[in-house]
């Protein structure tokens, strides 16, 4: 059966824990396999990237496959020909698509008209590979994910949406602090709650962080939103994760960020470089988790 990874919810809950265990094994044993031997995976990136591109290229090679990188300026996807036509062509060339783009609808079109696995490397709506790596980072420290509280401070963006889906899959308590006008999509939130997720939403960062074991944030203006920078700085005033805010979290709480970070904006220098920060483990875990996701897709 053909598998895709467009959101975290694509991994059944009864398989999610095994994915975490396998990712930990991948990391601990520096696993290399020949699972993708003879397979070519196209990496189609409409948005620039450092960690996503490098971790996927390295990961595909460590599984024996061959990545082919295509930047938006080098392709005609969705421009001079319909995306559904490109999907049917690429299916005949390659064994999978790893796509970093804007609308989630583009991935859905590739799935509908193609016949090879599609992996979401980031869209405006979701960032599932990042959050799966973040869950691995938390799991390494607190394997009983159902007993932890995770705080999200900032924009109700693709990261927040994937944390919401992650709460439905892995059972951690999630508290989101987002200013008015920048809250997560209510349909995504309510769907997760209908699946049993324990989620609260507030406009007060201190309320969300209170007692949290992990505190996450992201830049206030993501890629493509740079023209909104000044407006967002005003809206997010008081949302910086600094020592005072971290002091409201649980003892030994950890700080996390998907990178790149704007020190002095969404996070203070002292927190980012301080002992609570585990951002480099997050970055490393992109490699191990993405290898595991590819194995989940292609094995069997």
Q: Is 258 annotated as a binding residue?
A: yes
- In Å, how far from its chain's centre is CA 174? 15
Radius of gyration of the chain (CA): 19
Q: Is 49 annotated as a binding residue?
A: yes
Catalytic (active site) residue 178: no
Q: Is 158 annotated as a binding residue?
A: yes
Q: Is 225 annotated as a binding residue?
A: no
Residue from 101, 99, 114, 105 nearest 68 by CA: 99
Contact 173, 147 (CB under 8 A): no
Catalytic (active site) residue 13: no
Catalytic (active site) residue 286: yes
Q: Is 79 annotated as a binding residue?
A: no
Catalytic one of 218, 281, 282, 290: 218
Catalytic one of 4, 213, 257, 286: 286
Tokens 């809250």 sit on residue: 183
Catalytic one of 4, 22, 53, 127: 127
Catalytic one of 62, 130, 282, 290: 130
Q: Is 178 annotated as a binding residue?
A: no
Q: Is 129 annotated as a binding residue?
A: yes
Q: Is 130 annotated as a binding residue?
A: yes
Catalytic one of 258, 281, 282, 288: 258
Q: Is 50 annotated as a binding residue?
A: yes
Contact 289, 128 (CB under 8 A): no
Q: Is 229 annotated as a binding residue?
A: no
Residue from 238, 284, 258 nearest 54 by CA: 284
Residue from 163, 130, 140 nearest 27 by CA: 140
- List strands edge to edge, sheet with 173-177: 199-202, 173-177, 149-153, 214-217, 254-257
Q: Is 100 annotated as a binding residue?
A: yes
Q: Extract the annotated binding site for carbamoyl phosphate.
A: 49-52, 76, 100, 127-130, 258-259, 286
Per the annotation, binding residues are: 49-52, 76, 100, 127-130, 158, 218, 222-223, 258-259, 286
Q: Which residues are catalytic?
A: 100, 127, 130, 218, 258, 286
Indicate the annotated binding residues for L-ornithine: 158, 218, 222-223
């Amino acid at each position: 059966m053909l598998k895709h990874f467009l959101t975290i919810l694509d991994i059944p809950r009864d398989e999610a824990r095994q994915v975490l265990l396998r990712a930990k094994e991948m990391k601990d044993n520096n696993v290399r396999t020949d699972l993708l031997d003879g397979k070519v995976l196209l990496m189609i990136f409409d948005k620039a990237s450092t960690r996503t591109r490098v971790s996927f290229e390295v990961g595909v090679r460590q599984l024996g496959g061959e990545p082919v990188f295509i930047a938006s300026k080098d392709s005609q996807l969705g421009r001079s020909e319909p995306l559904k036509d490109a999907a049917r062509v690429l299916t005949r060339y390659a064994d999978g698509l790893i796509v970093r783009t804007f609308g989630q609808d583009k991935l859905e079109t590739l799935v509908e008209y193609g016949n090879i696995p599609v992996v979401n490397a980031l869209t405006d709506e979701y960032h599932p590979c990042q959050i799966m790596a973040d869950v691995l980072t938390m799991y390494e420290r607190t394997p009983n994910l159902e007993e932890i509280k995770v705080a999200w401070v900032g924009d109700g963006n693709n990261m927040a949406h994937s944390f919401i889906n992650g709460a439905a899959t892995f059972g951690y308590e999630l508290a989101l602090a987002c200013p008015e006008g920048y809250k997560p999509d209510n349909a995504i939130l309510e769907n997760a709650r209908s699946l049993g997720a324990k989620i609260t939403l507030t406009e007060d960062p201190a309320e969300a962080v209170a007692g949290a074991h992990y505190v996450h944030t992201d830049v206030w203006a993501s890629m493509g939103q740079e023209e909104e920078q000044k407006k967002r700085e005003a809206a997010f005033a008081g949302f910086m994760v600094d020592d005072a805010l971290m002091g409201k979290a649980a003892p030994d709480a950890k700080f996390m960020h998907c990178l790149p970070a704007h020190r002095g904006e969404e996070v203070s220098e002292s927190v980012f470089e301080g002992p609570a920060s585990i951002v480099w483990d997050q970055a490393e875990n992109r490699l191990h988790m993405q290898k595991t996701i590819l194995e989940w897709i292609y094995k069997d």
